[in-house]
Amino acid sequence: MISTKTVTSWKEFTESRKVSYKAFKNNIDGFKDEEKGFEEMRTSPHHRSIQQWDKTVVTADEEGVFASLQPIYYPINYNNITTSMVGIGAVCCIKKGTKAIHDCFFLALNDAYAKKVPFSYLYPFSGKYYNQFGYSYGIMKKDWSIPRLSFPYIENTEVKLNDNDFKRQREYAKKYNFSVVRDEIDWVNLLKDFVVREMDDFLTYHIVDNNIVVTSQCSTPKTLSSLLAKLPKVEEKITITLPSWYEAGQIMEEMNLERTRATCSYSAQGMSRIVNLEAAVALLRPTKDDSVTIKVSDELIAENNGIFTFCSKKGKVKLIIGNSSYDYELTIDKLSRLFTIGDGSVIFPYNSNAIFDYF
């Protein structure tokens, strides 16, 4: 008999990780000794996903666990409000022809709905695959590769992150919807990196094969060029991921010379979906009064289905249920895009969003 549930023991969690190893053909935790590795993971969690191991959802049959995914709850910023988001990771299944992943999503998202979580987010291997679960693209990024010669060298004496950097990043991220409110555990992997500073802004980086890889950034167009100039002298390039609204002219003065020519790839940072529609609507902050009625369909969360009037008044939006006519009909993935990037309307204005590095 096949059943889907939230894990109830550390043993069940480790079984789900082993399914991940098989599905991805990779020991994602990097253990040389599995038994010792899992014990170290349990006693010294290095990521929110390990802290929240008991949120993991699995599908099992008589032979054991064969599919799983991991909900990971994060505080995020949205319209200068701290709210919550459930990230979805480690989605895997080692048996074909089942509805296991569908059932895992159903359980995980409905649990999050009951917790009044407004949004979910994930990094997809395929947009089409995750669209069937209500996710849509929205937050975009630009991956830059810039010759180090593009910037002068300014000597830098700083070496590591400090507590002020942590506070600065939290303040900086408040301006951008969907940016994660980072906690100490989110900084663990950055503490080993080097840092450069310009006023209160900073970049962290490490060097791989004579290339500088920027691992996180807390900067504005006014400070970014100076920060890049403080990076070490290397023969090759600087690679840095920035929000999509950064333009080349805000980063560097010279792009046309062969030796300073930068390249940029534009892609999606991930996919989002509304979880609790009522909770998401409570975060909207329109500047004018208006209303729009939308018929919403959501195949996974029953409560999100219906005809809803979004009525804005005095800078907030109220959700009214009961109309028989409507202006638009949207599936939950299409509606989710309005919360992510907006459409320029009064209810859903264009907004600044950015997940500056991976959560």
Domain parsing of the chain, residue ranges: 3-117, 141-268, 273-340
Bridge partners, residue 60, by sequence: 3, 65
Please tell me the distance from the alpha carbon of residue 132 to that of residue 300, in angstroms, as a whole number.
10
Burial of 50 from C-beta contacts in 10 A (0-12 / 13-18 / 19+): middle
Q: What pLDDT, on the 0 to 100 scale, is given for residue 30?
A: 67
In the CATH scheme, what architecture does the domain 141-268 have?
3-Layer(aba) Sandwich (3.40)
Let me know: does 177 contact 338? Beta carbons within 8 Å. Answer: no
Spell out where the chain has E strands: 3-6, 57-61, 64-78, 81-93, 119-122, 136-137, 140-147, 194-198, 201-208, 211-218, 237-243, 263-268, 271-274, 290-297, 306-313, 316-321, 328-331
CATH number for 273-340 (one of 1.10.540.10, 3.30.1050.10, 3.40.50.300, 3.50.50.60): it is 3.30.1050.10
Phi and psi, residue 281, nearest 5°: -60, -35
Q: What pLDDT, on the 0 to 100 scale, is given for residue 358?
A: 44
What's the whole-model pTM score? 0.90
DSSP string, 129-148: HHHTTT-EE--EEEEEEEEG
Q: What is the CA radius of gyration of the chain?
A: 22
The reply to whether 273-340 shares the fold of 141-268 is no
The count of other CB atoms within 10 Å of the CB of residue 263 is 11
Q: Which CATH superfamily is domain 3-117 in?
A: Gcn5-related N-acetyltransferase (GNAT) (3.40.630.30)
Bridge partners, residue 280, by sequence: none
Question: Could you say which residues of the chain have pLDDT below 50?
Answer: 358-359
